Amino acid sequence: MISPRTLRNLRRELRQSGLAKLGIVVVLAVLLVATFAPVLAPHNPYDQNLDDSKLPPLGFSSETTSTSSEMVDGEIKIVNNTTYVEAQPSHPLGTDHLGRDLLSRVIYGARTSLLVGLLGTVLAVLIGVTVGLVAGYYGGLIDDGLMRSADVMLAFPSLVLAIALVGMFNRAVVSVPDPIVALGIEPGMPAQIKLPGTVVVVVALVNWVWFARVARGEALTVESEEYVKAARSVGASDSFIIRRHVLPNSVTPIIVLATIQIAAIILLESALSYLGFSGVNLSWGFDIAQGREHLATSWWISTVPGVAIVLTVVGINLVGDWLRDALDPGIEGEGGGV
C-alpha cells in the first residue's frame, strides 16, 4: 500500500510541475494508442499499395524528377519531367516506399516498443533486485562475487553487449493473438501480436546490473537497522527478513529507476530493430531503417517513427523525474522541475 505521506508528495509535485503533467499525458496517450491499435489504425500496417508509395504527410508535397528521351527536329534529346505528388487525407502521415500507411505502422509500432520496454524492465527488476538484495544482505564473499560479475557487465557498452547476446541466441518471435481482432471488432487487422522474445531477454540481461546496484545499496542500509536485528534475535529466517523488511524498504528507488529504464530499453530496442536484430518488421526502429535510403526524397518515412520515439522517451523520462522528486526524501520540498 502507498502511504498517505507518499500520496501527498506525489500530488504536491504534480501540482507544481507542468512538465510532469505533460509527461503523464504523453505516456497515457501512447498506452491507449498501443492498447487499441486495431481500432485506431486507419489501415492494416502490412498492406502494400505501390500506386500510393511515398505519399507525403498532410500539408506537404513532394516532387520527383524523371528523364526520358524524345525525338525533336530529327534529334534525340533528353527531357527532364517533374511530377508533383500531393498528400492524401486517407494517409495523414504519408506512406513509405511500399505504400504502407505510416500512421498505422507508428500506432502498431508503439505496441512493440512498449511491450519490450515493460517486459524487459520487469525481467531486469526481478534479476537485479534479487542479486542486489542477496549481495547487500549477506555481504562478504557473496557480495564480492555478485558485484564483480555486475562490474564485468558494466564494462561493455549496452548496445555492443546486446548485439553480442542476440548473436548467441536465435531471434525468437513470440506470437500472441490480438484480443480485439479475436473478438471480431476489427477483423481486417493483423490477428497476431508479434513480440521479439529474444530482445526482451537480452535487454533485461543488459540492464539488470543497475537494479542490482541500487538494491544492494538499500539492503546495506536497511540490514543494519534495529528492526532487522530484532527480527534476527527472535529467530526469523533470512528469506523472511529480506522479503518482509529489506525489500519493502528498498522499493522507492527501484520504482524510480524502473520508470527511467523503460525509456532506455525502448531506445535500445529501437537501435536493435534499426540494425536488424529484432526479428520483427513492425517496429519504430525497423521503419527508420527502411526510410534511410529515401531520406533525400521522402524524409517522412524515417522522421515519423523517429518523432514517435522521441515523444515516448521524453514523456517517460518526465514521469520518472516527477516520481523521483516526489519519492526521494533528500529533495523533499523542492519544486517538481526537471
Question: For the segment 2-18, what is each residue's pLDDT rounded down to a tens digit?
Answer: 667 778 888 888 888 89
The verdict on 86 and 228 lying in the same domain is no
Cβ 273 vs Cβ 285: under 8 Å: yes
Banded model confidence at residue 51, pLDDT cuts 50, 70, 90: confident
Q: What is the mean pLDDT of residues 316-331?
A: 80
The verdict on 64 and 163 lying in the same domain is no
The verdict on 214 and 69 lying in the same domain is no
The verdict on 72 and 140 lying in the same domain is no
* Residue 338 included in any domain: no
Q: What is the pLDDT of residue 337?
A: 34
- How big, in percent rounded to 5, are the helix, strand and coil portions of the chain? 65, 10, 25
The verdict on 128 and 82 lying in the same domain is no
Q: What is the pLDDT of residue 73?
A: 65
The verdict on 14 and 136 lying in the same domain is yes
CA dist., res. 186 & res. 205, Å (int): 36
The verdict on 147 and 258 lying in the same domain is yes
Percentage of the chain with pLDDT > 70?
Answer: 90
The verdict on 186 and 134 lying in the same domain is yes
Going from the C-alpha of 15 to that of each of 106, 121, 334, the distances in angstroms are 32, 28, 12
The verdict on 129 and 162 lying in the same domain is yes
Average of per-residue pLDDT values in the chain: 87
Q: What is the mean pLDDT of residues 323-332?
A: 68
Statement: residue 69 has pLDDT above 70: no
* Residue 184 included in any domain: yes
Instruction: Report which DSSP code applies to 321.
Output: H
Statement: residue 336 has pLDDT above 50: no
CA dist., res. 190 & res. 95, Å (int): 18
Task: Output the nine-digit C-alpha cell for 139.
Answer: 555481504
* Residue 336 included in any domain: no
* Residue 176 included in any domain: yes
CA dist., res. 217 & res. 250, Å (int): 9
The number of folded domains in the chain is 2
Q: What is the pLDDT of residue 226?
A: 84
* Residue 220 included in any domain: yes
* Residue 337 included in any domain: no
pLDDT digits 0-9 by tens, 289-308 = 999 988 888 899 999 999 99
* Residue 314 included in any domain: yes
Domain end, chosen from 42, 72, 90, is at 90
pLDDT digits 0-9 by tens, 80-90 = 666 777 888 99
The verdict on 291 and 323 lying in the same domain is yes
The verdict on 16 and 149 lying in the same domain is yes
Q: What is the pLDDT of residue 207?
A: 93
Task: Output the nine-digit C-alpha cell for 334.
Answer: 523542492
User: What CATH number did the domain enclosing 263 receive?
Assistant: 1.10.3720.10
Statement: residue 194 has pLDDT above 60: yes
Q: Which residue would you say has higher pLDDT here, 263 or 78?
A: 263
The verdict on 65 and 133 lying in the same domain is no
Statement: residue 327 has pLDDT above 90: no
Statement: residue 332 has pLDDT above 50: no
pLDDT digits 0-9 by tens, 214-273 = 999 989 888 878 888 888 888 888 888 888 888 888 888 899 899 999 999 999 999 999
Q: What is the pLDDT of residue 225?
A: 82
- The parent domain of residue 79 ranges over 58-90
* Residue 137 included in any domain: yes
